[in-house]
Amino acid sequence: MLLFLNVSIFSILLLGLIYIHFHYKTWTLSRKVFIALVAGLLFGIILQIIYSANNPAIISQSVEWFNIVGNGYVKLLQMIVMPLIFVSILSAVAKLHDAASLGKISSFVISMLLLTTLIAAIVAIIVSLSFNLSANELTSGIQEQARAIKLQEIKSNTLDNLSVPAMLLSFLPSNPFQDLAGLRSTSIMGVVIFAIFLGIAALKLLKDNQEQGATLLSGIIILQQWIMKLVRMVIQLTPYGVFALMVKMSATSDAKSMLSLGLFIIASYIAILIMFIIHGVLVMLVGESFIGYFKKITTIMAFAFTSRSSAAAIPLNIQTQETRFGVPNSIASFSASFGAIIGQNGCAGIYPAMLAMMIAPTIGIDLNLQFLVTLVFVVTISSIGVAGVGGGATYAALIVLPIMGLPIELVALLISIEPIIDMGRTALNVSGTMTSGIVTAHLLKQINKNQIEQN
């Protein structure tokens, strides 16, 4: 009966959001997402207050039903990620007049991603020193010990055998259909490279045979418009997905873990907040409004925060850059695609740098200038390597810590608060990719204000 009651209330709230969608059509998607976010947060908190102490199993059973909406929405976004990346990159390259434009766009985007990751590492170091973070007080429980064993296996089986040449070679798609199915850790990069080659081939066909080239280009444009119709259909479901994901997050958060590791959580979110401000400053320097930037990214930030998936946010990422900032599809597609696997400010920048700063003093390493400069360099470069082993903050830490001569056990000790910090990190990752796209478009003078939606 309790399970039925929880699911019924969830369904009623969901129907309320559907009512708002159809009866308040003039409301922006951002406003609808914000309402869903607040409703989900409040409902989840109420569930935790009522059941967490006396009947936690009810929360788990209820969340299984809520996941039909929340995880269902994430799966729909994942469904369109690969087709969207493929057709967007293919269309972008096919419409370019020369290969120099392709090289300029990709080099600008990647440079911005790495620059912001470098800044994120410096911010993490400063915050760690300010809070005097240390790993001395952390203790290891049964769950953490099991996690440590698993991490050692991952490191020995995957990372120890991964050289830089092997990592770069893993980017190339030997089977593009396998990559379109997302079966490799570097599938996104494989799809991007395959689409670039196809786009260049289309340019060559257009040069050799204008009639056939024009027909092919027309077909690519139609395919892109078709996929974008699908993308917009799925994105309209964002309020419902965010609502369900927020209910799950707030109902299942571990309050005890948050209290025991509260200082690390606070320090992490302060570093994340500082990086958000830096993103705002960077886009302001190229002509965007500081406050306007954060208003325009509300919807995608809400999704990234609740879903904890940078890759799933790619469709929203591209659409937001195009329709809210006037970034051309070519640049938006490159920044969103590359940003999902390279230069992640939160996962590959702040997190491993902060862990290194906490661990180093406990094993007698002096936090001198040489160590700090080396750490910043290693974090920045390894943010490219993360793509070679599947991405994520855990892999970033497993790459950075051994290079710096540090043990990896702390990664396991933080397992209980990982989801809490990961929400903020993912939102920052996505903001970093959007910053790279917006700044690149302005520097190349390719902003198209006519495509900006006024809402």
Are the C-beta atoms of residues 130 and 122 closer than 8 Å to each other? no
**pLDDT for res 255:** 62
**Is the Cβ–Cβ distance between 320 and 297 less than 8 Å?**
yes
CA–CA separation, 134 vs 128, rounded Å?
A: 9
Yes or no: say if 321 and 438 are a contact pair by the CB < 8 Å rule.
Answer: yes
Query: Is residue 415 over pLDDT 90?
Result: no
**pLDDT for residue 141:** 46
Question: pLDDT value at position 8?
Answer: 94
pLDDT band at 440 (very low <50, low <70, confident <90, very high): very high
Q: CA 63 to CA 249: how far, in whole Å?
A: 10
Considering the chain, what is the average pLDDT of its residues?
83
Residue 320 contacts by C-beta under 8 Å, 6 or more apart in sequence? 296, 297, 299, 300, 434
CA gap 36, 31 in Å, rounded:
9
Domains of the chain plus CATH, in order, are 2-451 (1.10.3860.10)
Q: Which residues, at least 6 apart from 185, have a Cβ–Cβ distance to it below 8 Å?
A: 170, 387, 388, 389, 390, 391
pLDDT tens digit sequence for 217-232:
889 889 988 988 898 8
What percent of the chain shows pLDDT beyond 90? Answer: 31
Alpha carbon distance 357, 163 (integer Å): 25
Digit-coded pLDDT (tens) for 351-397 = 889 988 988 887 778 888 989 999 999 889 878 755 434 446 777 77
Determine the average pLDDT of the residues in 414-423.
Answer: 73
Number of alpha carbons in the 13 Å side-chain half-sphere of residue 289: 9
For the stretch 145-185, pLDDT in tens is 445 555 455 445 554 455 657 666 777 888 888 888 877 76
pLDDT of residue 164: 58
The answer to whether 313 and 344 are in contact (CB under 8 A) is no
**304 token code pair:** 């990234």
CA angle (224 as vertex; 386, 172 as ends), nearest 5: 30
The predicted pLDDT at position 385 comes to 56
